Amino acid sequence: MIVLSLVGVFLTYMLLLLVLARVNPLRFLRNYSKAILTSMTTCSSAATMPNSMMCCDKMGVSPFIYKFSIPLGATVNMDGTSIFLVISTFFLANVCGITIPASMMATLLVTVLLLSVAAPGVPGAALACLTMLLSIANIPLESVSLIIGAYTIFDGCLTTSNIMGDGVVTAIVANSENLLDKKRFYSSNNI
């Protein structure tokens, strides 16, 4: 379910690129591929930041935009982490036979938002945040062991979703401010 949700986010990003930035999403993926591969292998938004900035520069985004948006996104844009936290919390509650009341859901929602913004861009951060959510929802912490085995795969996907959001928003803002050089964006030298 987590990977399916991340695919939905990915498709939304591609649609946003097409509609708001008016660029070819497949070309964006080609231009941004080094950052995507780095994020998948390092599982760290912070470690991927230099590659993300380099990819934005090569695809024609003005440094005025990407030098602000990429570090900001690496710090606060944790959409993949949010998805992981919500789905994992409800999955583990269901496995443990715990019903989360509506009043607790509001608390969990605010906590997920705060945790996803405050989560550091390092490997394993979402798992640490999940343990906080489980304790708030009175779900046994031992249940996290059901997720740990697959977490390495999830972590790469979560980080990729996070940095994809950074790059997409950077391209959209650059286009809206006329600071995206589309000749460089479509150039074959960007690989």
Average pLDDT, the chain: 90
What are φ and ψ of residue 47, in 5° steps?
-70, -25
The SS3 assignment for 110 reads helix
Residue of 25, 42, 24 whose CA lies nearest to 164:
25
Please report, rounded to a whole number, the percentage of residues in the chain having pLDDT higher than 70: 98
* Structure confidence at residue 50 (pLDDT): 95
List, for residues 106-163, the tens digit of each pLDDT value: 888 888 888 878 877 778 888 888 998 899 889 998 999 898 888 888 888 989 999 9
Q: Output the pTM of the full model.
A: 0.87
Does position 67 have pLDDT exceeding 70, yes or no?
yes
Question: DSSP of 45-93, one letter per residue?
Answer: HHHHHHHHHHHHHHTTB-HHHHHHHHHHHHHH--HHHHHHHHHHHHHHH
How big is the chain by its Cα radius of gyration, in Å?
18
List, for residues 13-35, the tens digit of each pLDDT value: 999 999 999 999 999 999 999 99
Task: Report which of residues 43 and 189 the model is more confident about.
Answer: 43
